[in-house]
Amino acid sequence: MTTNKLHSAKPGQLQVLHVEDNQLDAELVARALRQGGFEVSVVVVQDEVEFTQQLRACRPEVILADYNLPHWKGMEALDVLRREDLDIPMILVSGALGDMTAVECIKRGATDYVLKDGLARLPEAIRRALHEKNLRRLRKQVDEDLAKKVDELARSNADLEQFAYVASHDLQEPLRMVANYTQLLAERYRGKLDDQADKYIHYAVDGATRMQTLIQDLLAYSRVGRPEIELKPTECDVIVSSAIKNLYAAVRESGAIVTFSSLPTVMANSSQLQQVFQNLIGNAIKFRGANPPQIQVAAEEKEGAWVFSVADNGIGIAPEHVAAIFTVFKRLHTRQEYPGNGIGLSICKRVVERHGGRISVTSNANGGSTFVFTIPVGTQAQPEGRFISHEHDGRYFVSR
């Protein structure tokens, strides 16, 4: 059926809006569609006003347009579709249309073109256009779902981080009370009650102290995840020296030799980056082998990033554990073998990733390990699209 009255298609009918001034051509097109297996409802219009009106009224699934009309140009239908923010395939159905014009029309957004003396091709062109539109819709749906999931994940991560921060912060005070008073108990009553009581008090003091360090570590870990960090030019020579100074007792006791030369200045949060060096050098000393620790800190510029390495001659790490050791509280040894809570490397990972870099470890041929991490040169790092650095008042920030 061909009409120029407002109406909508019956279920199962393909709703077509046809821009055409020639009634006979319109009838031929409708016939070609029926012959091609379509149940159609065609609305024919001749100018922009009618087109816009019918577009809104009958929500067509496909638009057919003659290229040359006395009062309008078929291609301008595309501008109306854009204005109305509608994704409806538009096929040009025209008399002779030069190749150049046809290509130009496709470039401008027409889905296809069919010549009036080749209408048998029209049903197939429509089927393909509808199929492509369907794929576009599905792809858009998938993209939207994905964006929603990423958003939900980011929000729930932020909630969790906030929770961990508040919990570890607020737990400190009552825990300090428990630790102080059990210590007081130990000092006052050690040796005055029976052996069993001494043992219990010792367990209580030990447990409270351990929990305190755990909570402090957790708080330190949460702090690294705060939404925004300030980046400043950071001289790595200086922060590595400070890290070594802070480790003075362990360096002296182990006879460690730490070497580094001409490290670069990078845009970073100095105290966080110093913490990374301190944790890595501290571990290199703690997990030493039979010989005194030899530790080399080095850096080289590669593909837009500074690649830092901290290599040791310690006990090494089995390949199957290299991924796990960067997770919170993951340790490969008991506290009796080596002290620690298993949070040092997770802090390193977090700091490095907040700066837009990556961290990994490999085993050395001599049995030791080499930790490698990157810090992007400059401030434009946007790892996995998650962090954006920006300048404000001459200061640089990285935020989520």
Region binding ligand ADP by CB under 6 A among candidate stretches 13-21, 97-105, 134-142, 341-349: 341-349
User: Of residues 109, 264, 289, 342, which one binds ligand ADP by CB under 6 A?
Assistant: 342
Q: Is 400 in the site for ligand ADP (CB under 6 A)?
A: no
Q: Is 293 in the site for ligand ADP (CB under 6 A)?
A: no
The nearest distance, CB 164 to ligand ADP, in angstroms, is: 17
Residue nearest to ligand ADP according to CB distances in the complex: 340
Nearer to ligand ADP, 182 or 283 (CB): 283
For residue 41, with 0-12 CB atoms within 10 Å meaning exposed, 13-18 middle and 19 or more buried, which class applies? buried
* Distances from the Cα of 368 to the Cα of 150, 196, 209, angstroms: 39, 44, 32
Q: Other C-beta atoms within 10 Å of 343: how many?
A: 21
* Residues numbered 79-98 forming contacts with ligand ADP, rule: CB under 6 A: none
Nearer to ligand ADP, 113 or 287 (CB): 287
Between 270-286 and 236-246, two packed helices, what is the crossing angle to 10 degrees? 50
Nearer to ligand ADP, 279 or 389 (CB): 279
The nearest distance, CB 280 to ligand ADP, in angstroms, is: 7
* DSSP helix/strand/coil, 229: strand
Between 195-224 and 122-189, two packed helices, what is the crossing angle to 10 degrees? 140
Nearer to ligand ADP, 38 or 287 (CB): 287
Specify whether the CB–CB gap between 78 and 108 falls below 8 A: yes
Region binding ligand ADP by CB under 6 A among candidate stretches 101-109, 114-122, 254-262, 283-291: 283-291
* Residues numbered 344-383 forming contacts with ligand ADP, rule: CB under 6 A: 344-346, 369
* H/E run at residue 92: strand 90-94
Q: Is 333 in the site for ligand ADP (CB under 6 A)?
A: yes
Q: Is 263 in the site for ligand ADP (CB under 6 A)?
A: no
Q: Is 60 in the site for ligand ADP (CB under 6 A)?
A: no
Q: State residue 309 phi and psi, 5-degree precision.
A: -135, 145
d(CA 176, CA 155): 32
d(CA 370, CA 187): 44
Region binding ligand ADP by CB under 6 A among candidate stretches 107-115, 178-186, 234-242, 278-286: 278-286
Region binding ligand ADP by CB under 6 A among candidate stretches 41-49, 164-172, 221-229, 332-340: 332-340
d(CA 304, CA 59): 51
Q: Dihedral through CA 135, CA 139, CA 144, CA 150, nearest 10? A: 160
Output the six-digit token pair for 162. Answer: 């906030």
Q: Which residues contact ligand ADP (rule: CB under 6 A)?
A: 279, 283-284, 287, 312, 314-317, 325, 331-333, 340-346, 369
